[in-house]
Chains A and B, each alone.
Chain A
Amino acid sequence: MLAVQKPVQVPNPLSVPSNAPEHCPGTESELAGKADACNGCANQEICASSTPKGPDPALPFIRERMNSVKRKILVLSGKGGVGKSTFTAQLGWAFAADEQLQTGIMDVDICGPSIPTILGIASEQVHSSSSGWSPVYVQDNLGVMSVGFMLPSSRDAIMWRGPKKNGLIAQFLKDVDWGDLDYLVIDTPPGTSDEHLSVVQYLKESGIDGAVLVTTPQEVALQDVRREIDFCRKVGIRVLGLVENMSGFVCPGCKTESQIFRPSTGGAERLARETGVELLGKVPLDPRIGKSADYGVSFLDEYPESPASTAYLDIIERLKEILGDP
C-alpha cells in the first residue's frame, strides 16, 4: 500500500514572521529559556523545561532523504565573489554530462542566491507534490534547489537572521524530493556562519564526502581561505582540495598573460603547501566565464577550447579520482 504523505507547502519567504528574540542563546544552550532575552518568547517554556533536549526533530527525515544521495560535496570559500557559484555550476554540468549520473545542486546562499541565474533558470518556480518540493531541472539529470525560486521577484531581498535561514536549509534537506542522486553539490555563502554550521550539523549523520575550497590568488582572499580550512578542521570535514580561480588573465588583444589579482604571498600554491591541502588546479580568468554566467549557459559547452575549460575539466577529473569514482 502506498503511504500518502501530506504535501509540504512551499513557504513564501517574505511572509514568515521573524519572531526569534534577538539575543536568543540558542535552543541547545544551557541558558535556553532562562536567559533575559527569553522573556516573552513564545517558545520559552519549551526551552526552559528540564526535559533533556532531544536532537533536532528534522534529523531523522534528513537522514532518510539523504540515504539516496551517494556523494555530498560542499563548495566553500571564506571570501565572496571568488567563483564558488560558478565553480559549483560547472561542476554540476560536468557531472551531468554523463547521462548515467544524477546530479543535484543545492544553493544555501539565502541572501544572495546566484545559482538560478548562472544556470539560466532564474524565472522558474518550485512545485510541491506529495513527495516533497520538486527541484527545478536544468536537464533531465541535473536538479537544482535555491531560495531564488521562491521569491516573487528577483529584486526582493531576504532579510533574515540565522534561525530562519537554518530552518530553510533544514527544509531544503528534508522536504526536497531529490530522488536518487549520485552527486549533491552544495553551494554556500561566503564566511563561516549560520548556513555553514547548519549544513554541517544537519548532514553530520549522513556524512559529507568533503569540501572544495575556492580562492583567488590575493592574500586578502587566502586569509579567508585559511579561516575556512580552520573551520573544516574544527567541524571535521575533509578538505578535498583547493581551486585557485581568476589566476592570470590573457589579454584578448595581445595574448600576453598578466596577473590581475597578483599572488603577493605565493598564491594558493604556497597556502596548499603550508596547510597540506591539495591544490586541485588553477583556472585562468576568462571574460567569457562571467558572460556565460550572466546568460545562464554552460561555459564548458560553449567554449570547450578555452584554457579555463581545460582547467575546470582537469580539476573535476581529479576530484572524481580523489572521491574514488570512475
Chain B
Amino acid sequence: MAVQETPVSRRLRSVKHIIIVCSGKGGVGKSSVSAQLALSLHASSPTARVGILDVDLTGPSIPRMLGLDGHGVHQSSDGWVPVYADARGAGEPRLSCMSVGFLLKKKGDSVVWRGPKKNAMIRQFLSDVRWGELDYLVIDTPPGTSDEHLSLLEHLAPVHSRLSAIIVTTPQAVALLDAMKCLSFTRAVTLPVLGLIENMSGYVCPCCGEISNVFSTGGGEEMARREGLRFLGSMPIDTELVTLLDAAESNEPDTASTAEVDRDESLKARSFELLQRYQKTSSAKLFTDIAAKVIQTLSSVEQTTAAISV
C-alpha cells in the first residue's frame, strides 16, 4: 500500500501507537477513561511517553481533568508546544496534552463552529503540535459519529496501521445502543477495536457499602460477547475519582492574575501531584489491569493489520 506523505504523517512518524477513545453517547466517561488511560500508560513503564489529544472542540474536558485549566499553548519554531502535565516531575516530562481548551481566552467562551472549521482545527492539532517521540497518543473524541470523527480518520489515514480504538459505554440500554452505532462506525472505517470498557457500573454507598446499580450493570460485557469484542473491564463509579478529576481542591486560577509565573508554578505542582493521587484511588488499580490488557492487545492488533496491509 503506497502511503502518501502528508504533514500529519510526517508529524506523527515518531508516534508508535495511536489509541482513539470513542463512544456514541455523551457523558459515559470518554474523557475520564482517556485521562486514566494516559495516566496508567504513563505509569506502566518509567520511560513511556504519552500524549493526550482532546478533539472535543465544543466541550473540552481534558484540561480540567488533568488539572491544566488556565494553561496556554506556546508557539515554537517547530510547531505548537503541548502542555506537559508532569512538567514539575523528576526528569523529563512524559505526559503531554493538547486541547482546544488551552486556546480559549476565558473558560466560559463557547466554540460555536460548524464542521469545516472543526476539520481545520483537527488537522492543525495533528500536524502542528510538536509531540516529539511518543509511545502512545491517546485521542479523546466528542460523542457521536460525525465531523470530528470523520476528519480524524481522514487525516490519520496515512498512519492507519498504528491506529486502534477503545469503546466506552455505560450499562444502560440507551448508551449501549449508541455504543453499537460507534462500533458500526469503526467497522465502516476499518478501525481495529482494542476492546470495550464498561464505565459507571455500580456505585458503592459510602455509608453502608451496598452496591447500587445506578445505571444497571453487565450490559457492556454482554455486548462485548455478542459482538466478539474483547471486554477490557468494568469500572464502578468512584466518587474519589470523580472528585479528583473534577479538581475539587484546586483554587480557580485567576485568569487576570499578573503573577503569571507563580500561578504556573503552583499549577504544575498540583498537576504532578495528580498522578500520585490518582494512583491511590481504587479505580487506578482496576485501570492498571485495563492498561495492561490494552498494551498487550495493541501489539497483536497491529501485527494483524500490518500483515493485512502488506
Could you tell me which A residues sit within 8 Å of B by CB distance?
A: 22-26, 78-82, 85, 109-112, 114, 117-118, 154-163, 165, 189-194, 196-197, 216, 218-221, 223-224, 226-231, 234-235, 249, 251-254, 256, 258-262, 264-265, 285, 287, 290-291, 293-295
Contacts and interface: CB of A to CB of B under 8 A. Distances in A.
B110 A228 contact: yes
A230 B109 contact: yes
Contacts of B31: 220
Interface in B109-152: 109-116, 118-120, 142-147, 149-151
Contacts of B173: 117, 293-295
B174 interface: yes
A208 to B, nearest CB: 16
Interface residues of B, number: 70
Contacts, number: 228
Contacts of B28: 80-81
Contacts of A291: 216
20 contacts: A79-B61, A82-B26, A85-B174, A111-B143, A112-B181, A114-B178, A157-B181, A162-B114, A162-B146, A163-B115, A190-B58, A192-B111, A192-B112, A193-B147, A194-B147, A224-B61, A227-B109, A254-B208, A291-B216, A294-B174
B255 interface: no
The winner among B64, B116, B184, B252 for most chain A CB atoms within 10 A is: B116
Interface in B17-38: 24-28, 31
Given A154-B177, A192-B58, A262-B248, A79 B26 contact: yes
Contacts of B24: 111-112, 157
Given A159-B185, A253-B210, A256-B205, A293 B174 contact: yes
Nearest to A228: B110
A80 B208 CA distance: 30
A220 B111 contact: no
Interface stretch (B1-9, B71-79, B235-243, B292-300): B235-243
Question: Which secondary structure dominates chain B's binding surface?
Answer: loop
A79 B27 contact: yes
A78 B64 CA distance: 15
A251 B210 contact: yes
Contacts of A26: 114, 116
Query: Shortest 5 CB-CB distances between A and B: which pairs?
Result: A80-B26, A81-B27, A162-B115, A111-B144, A253-B210
B246 A189 contact: no
B108 A226 contact: yes
A157 B64 contact: no
Given A112-B144, A294-B173, 19 more contacts: A80-B143, A110-B146, A111-B143, A156-B181, A161-B115, A162-B146, A165-B146, A190-B59, A191-B56, A193-B57, A193-B118, A218-B242, A223-B64, A227-B59, A228-B110, A249-B203, A249-B212, A251-B207, A290-B214
The winner among A155, A160, A219 for most chain B CB atoms within 10 A is: A219
Nearest to B111: A192
Interface string B135-172: 00000001111110111001000000000000000101
A194 B114 contact: yes
Interface string B83-114: 00000000000000000000000011111111
B214 A260 contact: yes
B203 A260 contact: yes
A190 B26 contact: yes
B68 to A, nearest CB: 13
A220 B115 contact: no
A294 B14 CA distance: 45
Contacts of B27: 79-82, 190, 216, 221
A159 B210 contact: no
Interface string B245-256: 111100010000
